[in-house]
């Protein structure tokens, strides 16, 4: 059965999987909705997107994604409020960042209406998949990869843009203990660290495994040259609270311009929380931990929103953060999630109703 929504062709799945899903016990990103958006780039332009049943895709063994890694993605969430209205959070920021990533990896940039109208059509078809349980959401994964064939080391001549969705519970539960990295780097000056390129994350897995073997859950990445400056926490931006001041590093070639990061900075400033966007040295953090002025550290990203850090390791020494009753992390997370889920006013115009 086919239909048209927002000028997007809809090819409906013959049956639904939704009745087999336990929405009270959702793991993150492991259960997938009935449909996906698919759009192909060929003959020098993006073709009309379609919503199709969620299903495997077939690629030639010489498809350039396998050989040269032209692959980018975004992470978003859809929420449903008590009145069954569907909301997104700053979706145009995701669209713009996808095209920033595309340009850096020589991937053709995507038209805005294909992204937005396609996403809205997909969410309308799979609206029943958006959970209303506290802490749950419909995770949205837009991605583009090189589907064109050939072993020649050059950009592909064909690409696929796909959006898949997955009803998900909380990404992290509890606090994490992290290791400050002294050898490996997440990215380098002039590289692709600012892009959401798949290879950035592949390169993180091995150092993270080494940290896990030492008893930590994640790695705090430091700069590629001196390893003197704290830059990111795992796959998230990082914030450090020293006394009452919230500090995060500036964006650069190496640091992703996180949408949650930007939101936290803007929200904190509006709430008169002192914020500094500047380089943070490892030495400064260690000294603050030793003298008691280090109050909080947390990661910030779409999946977890805010993930508190309970302690960190550096040069074979562990440092525990204090247990505070009222934290910036919990306060800012609640403020952001209340805006996302339409439980409070949105003075920043971040919330986007899907209709």
Per-residue pLDDT tens digits for 136-151: 999 999 999 999 999 9
Residue 172 has pLDDT above 90, yes or no: no
Residue 351 in any domain: the answer is no
Residue 319 and residue 298 in one domain? yes
Q: What is the pLDDT of residue 198?
A: 96
Closest CA to 88 of 344, 275, 320, 341: 341
The pLDDT value given to residue 89: 98
- C-alpha 187/C-alpha 253 separation (Å) is 8
Q: Are residues 327 and 268 both part of a single domain?
A: yes
CB neighbour list of residue 43: distance below 8 Å, 6 or more residues apart: none
Cα 138 from Cα 165, distance rounded (Å):
6
CB 148 within 8 A of CB 63: yes
User: Does 36 lie in the same domain as 141?
Assistant: yes
Residue 3 in this model has a pLDDT that exceeds 70: yes
- Element (DSSP H or E) covering residue 52: strand 50-53
Of 168, 202, 222, the residue that ends a domain is 168
pLDDT digits (tens, 9 = 90+) for 27-39: 899 999 999 999 9
Confidence of residue 201 (pLDDT cuts 50, 70, 90): very high
Which pLDDT band, with edges at 50, 70 and 90, does 174 fall under?
A: confident
b/e map 229-260, b = 16+ CB within 10 Å = bbbbbbbbbbbbbbeeebbbbebeebbbbbbb
**Domain end (from 106, 134, 168):** 168
Q: Is residue 33 located within the same domain as residue 128?
A: yes
In a shared domain, residues 164 and 183: no
Mean pLDDT of the chain: 96
In a domain, 43, yes or no: yes
The reported pTM is: 0.96
Residues 133 and 45 in one domain: yes
The answer on 89 and 72 residing in a single domain is yes
* Closest to 18 measured CA to CA, from 37, 34, 38, 39: 34
Q: Give the model's pLDDT for residue 171.
A: 74
CATH number of the CATH domain containing 318: 3.20.10.10
pLDDT one-digit tens code per residue, 56-69: 999 999 999 999 99
Residue-wise pLDDT for 97-116, tens only, equals 999 999 999 999 999 999 99
- Domain total of the chain: 2
Query: Following DSSP, what letter does each residue of 265-326 receive, concatenated?
Result: HHHHHHTT--EEES-EEHHHHHHHHHHT-EEEEEEEETTTEEEEEEEEEETTEEEEPP--SS
CA 24 to chain centre: 23
Domain span at residue 332 reads 176-340
| Domain's final residue, options 119, 147, 168 | 168
Q: And the tokens for 5? A: 């929504």
């Amino acid at each position: 059965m086919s239909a048209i929504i927002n000028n997007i062709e809809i090819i409906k799945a013959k049956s639904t999987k939704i009745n087999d899903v336990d929405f009270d016990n959702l793991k993150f990103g492991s259960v997938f909705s009935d449909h996906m958006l698919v759009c192909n780039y060929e003959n020098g332009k993006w073709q009309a997107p379609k919503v199709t049943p969620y299903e495997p895709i077939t690629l030639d063994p010489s498809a350039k994604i396998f050989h040269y890694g032209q692959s980018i993605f975004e992470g978003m969430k859809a929420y449903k409020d008590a009145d069954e209205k569907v909301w997104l959070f700053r979706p145009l920021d995701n669209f713009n960042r996808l095209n920033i990533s595309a340009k850096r990896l020589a991937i053709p940039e995507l038209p805005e209406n294909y992204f937005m109208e396609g996403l809205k059509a997909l969410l309308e078809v799979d609206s029943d998949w958006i959970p209303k349980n506290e802490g749950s959401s419909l995770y949205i994964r837009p991605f583009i990869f090189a589907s064109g064939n050939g072993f020649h080391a050059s950009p592909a001549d064909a690409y696929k843009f796909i959006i898949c969705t997955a009803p998900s519970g909380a990404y992290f539960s509890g606090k994490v203990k992290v290791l400050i990295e002294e050898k490996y780097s997440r990215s380098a000056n002039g590289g692709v660290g600012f892009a959401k390129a798949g290879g950035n994350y592949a390169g993180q897995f091995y150092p993270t495994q080494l940290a896990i073997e030492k008893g930590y859950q994640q790695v705090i990445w430091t700069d590629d040259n001196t390893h003197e400056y704290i830059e990111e926490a795992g796959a998230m931006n990082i914030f450090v609270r020293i006394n009452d001041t919230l500090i995060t590093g500036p964006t650069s070639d190496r640091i992703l311009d996180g949408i949650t990061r930007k939101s936290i900075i803007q929200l904190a400033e509006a709430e008169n929380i002192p914020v500094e966007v500047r380089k943070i040295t490892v030495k400064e953090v260690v000294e603050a931990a030793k003298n008691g002025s280090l109050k909080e550290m947390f990661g910030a990203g779409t999946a977890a929103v805010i993930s508190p850090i309970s302690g960190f390791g550096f040069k074979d020494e562990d440092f525990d953060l204090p247990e505070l009753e009222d934290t910036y992390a919990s306060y800012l997370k609640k403020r952001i999630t209340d805006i996302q889920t339409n439980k409070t006013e949105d003075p920043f115009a971040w919330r986007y109703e899907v209709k």
